[in-house]
Amino acid sequence: MKPQYRIRNWSEYNAGLKTRGSLTFWIDEFVLEEWIVHDLSGRPGASVLYSDLAIMTMATLKAVYRLAGRQCQGFVESIFGLMAIELPVPDHSTLSRRLGQLSIELPIVPKEESRPVVVDSTGVKVYGEGEWKTRQHGVSKRRTWRKLHLGVDEATGEILAAVVTTHDFHDGEVLNEVLEAIECPIDQVSTDGAYDHRHCYDEIKAKGAKAVIPPRKDAKIWQHGNRNGKPHQRDENLRTIRKHGRKRWKQDSGYHRRSIAETTMFRFKTIFGGNLSARQFDNQAVELFVKCAALNRMIRIAKPDSYKVEA
């Protein structure tokens, strides 16, 4: 029987979900005040210079409401018209040209204590044929995707770090870059078996954290007990699995909390879809970072507090 869950904070969660769709949540007075970087040269006919905040706001609206470039421009122009605000709006070409130059900082609620982090990756389609054509005629050379590697706070569900690569990067190759992007202390890093490599354990150890990575089914001991030095953490995990079973190890180590990352991936693709609209890699990366930042803001105002209903 499939387990059922109920939400404790339904009224707050319901109000937060409505706020996610509010234009005043994404466009506040501070954004309008900083919309234009004023030209101080005094030259007549100087072009309008939009601030990075204005470009990021446009990119966020484009992602949240799933708009094309020209549609996003018309959408913001209509908003300014209804608000009687006399501000110019970047056209779609300006938005595309400036997007790859943005530096996106993920909004994260500060915490003093160390965080348990879950690391995983997901694929996002860039362009390609429909699924029917793929089944009938196979995958063509134009079908490709990008990999989004995320470091997620296990307790809050916030995205702490995001790295974008092409699809030919292995998950373990990017682990160190994800960990280095997390500035707060880390006490545990949970990943799936794709990160079962010696360098991944070393990179997690360098951050002062405990590694919770399931060894492969055919895993062998790396450092036997008759050697000098402390036992390797992977070997300790493997010995526990051999003695008590993989299921018991997952329960004792808290490995099942790794599903938080999968929940984040599901939430990400449900809200923003599984495709990218940008064509250049830098723009694609920033587009994904903008979506991660928007998702963190959404989680901050609307996150369900659910509990399992006992049969």
pLDDT of residue 295: 95
Q: What is the DSSP string of 242-287?
A: HHH-HHHHHHHHTGGGGHHHHHHHHHHHHHH-SB----SHHHHHHH
Q: Nearest 5°: CA angle at 163, between 158 and 166? A: 140
Whether the Cβ atoms of residue 169 and residue 147 lie closer than 8 Å to each other: yes
pLDDT of residue 139: 58
For residue 232, what pLDDT is reported? 81
Of residues 165 and 130, more confidence is placed in: 165
Across the range 217-225, mean pLDDT stands at 77
The pLDDT of residue 249: 86
What pLDDT is attached to residue 228? 67
The predicted model gives 124-153 an average pLDDT of 73
Domains of the chain: 4-99 (no CATH), 115-276 (3.30.420)
Question: Each residue of 227-281: pLDDT tens digit?
Answer: 666 778 888 888 888 888 888 888 888 888 778 888 889 999 999 998 898 888 9
The pLDDT of residue 43 is: 60
Task: Find the DSSP H helices in 8-68.
Answer: 10-20, 23-26, 29-33, 52-64
Residue 135 Cα distances to 103, 138, 224, angstroms: 39, 6, 49
Which amino acid appears at position 219 of this protein?
A
Quote the tokens at residue 222. 């790396």
pLDDT tens per residue, range 258-271: 788 888 899 999 99
pLDDT confidence bin for 38, thresholds 50/70/90: low
Closest CA to 23 of 90, 81, 95: 81
Q: Which of 76, 55, 80, 54 is nearest to 65 (CA)?
A: 76
What's the mean per-residue pLDDT of the chain?
86
Q: Per-residue DSSP letters for 208-231? A: T-EEE-PPPTT---SS-TTSSSPP
CA distance 267 to 63: 14
Q: Residue 40: is its pLDDT beyond 80?
A: no
The band of 226, judged by pLDDT with boundaries at 50, 70 and 90, is low
Round to whole Å and give the CA distance between 299 and 152.
Answer: 12
3-state SS string for 145-206: EEEEEEEEECCCCCEEEEEEEECCCCHHHHHHHHHHCCCCCEEEEECCHHHCCHHHHHHHHH
Q: Say if residues 150 and 120 touch (Cβ distance below 8 Å).
A: yes
DSSP lists the bridge partners of residue 186 as 115
Please give the structure tokens belonging to residue 118.
Answer: 């879950």
Q: What is the pLDDT of residues 75-87, one digit of tens each?
A: 999 999 998 989 9
pTM of the model: 0.86
216-226 mean pLDDT: 76
Percent of the chain with pLDDT over 70: 89
Check: CB of residue 161 under 8 Å from CB of residue 181. Answer: yes
